Amino acid sequence: MKKSLIFITVTIISMSFLREAHAEVVDSSYYGFTIKQEYPIKNVADSVYNNLVHYIGKWWDSEHTFSGQAANLWIDAVAGGCFSEKLPDGGSVRHMTVVFAKPGKTLRMEGGLGPLRSMAVSAVLTFNLSQDGNNTKLTVTYSVGGYVPGGLQKMALLVDRVLEQQMRRFTNFC
């Protein structure tokens, strides 16, 4: 009985969290897709932005890096700056280029993440933050377009899931 009660409580709490966050592929075709995710965060927008930009190495999953260490990631949040990674042999990777940075409000970067990096695609990842009292609504939009044999629509759900995993790690960090 006690185990059942604990399971039911954990399930209700999990379902409650899932209702608050919203992630989906909003459009998908052979030539591209758009993902939109929304997360409520119990923190002010300036702090959320600061965590997004300055502490990526603490919340990003190391499994989704070239070096195997999220601590090697950084974002230079100025136009022309980049989301980069230091490699163990002295090399580096530019994951995305910053095209718009407005602290506390918006960070927009261009580039394909993960396997998209090696494909003939163009991609834009936007983080929009809106203040609601002492809370922040984070809206993440990732639009990808280009050519991939077999079509990009096959990748949309996978990219959505991986991005959602990263953003859940982020919201837990905040």
Structural domain that includes position 66: 22-173
In a domain? residue 17: no
Task: State the residue for tokens 């966050």.
Answer: 21
Instruction: Tell me the mean pLDDT per 10 residues along the chain, length 174.
Output: 36 42 92 98 98 98 97 98 96 97 98 93 98 95 96 95 97 97
Number of domains in the chain: 1
Both tokens of 41, joined, read 């965060």
- List pLDDT tens digits, range 22-46: 889 999 999 999 999 999 999 999 9
In a domain? residue 106: yes
pLDDT at 20: 67
Within 10 A of 17 (CB to CB), how many other CB atoms are there?
A: 12
d(CA 157, CA 164): 10
pLDDT at 112: 95
Can you give the C-alpha Rg of the chain in angstroms? 17
In a domain? residue 10: no
In a domain? residue 16: no
In a domain? residue 162: yes
Distances (CA, A) of 168 to 23, 27, 117: 11, 22, 22
d(CA 82, CA 102): 15
pLDDT at 167: 98
The DSSP secondary-structure symbol of 127 reads E
d(CA 63, CA 98): 23
pLDDT at 10: 35
Both tokens of 126, joined, read 């936007």
In a domain? residue 79: yes
pLDDT at 21: 79
pLDDT at 23: 83
CA diameter of the chain:
58
d(CA 149, CA 142): 20
What CATH number is attached to the domain comprising 64?
A: 3.30.530.20
In a domain? residue 5: no
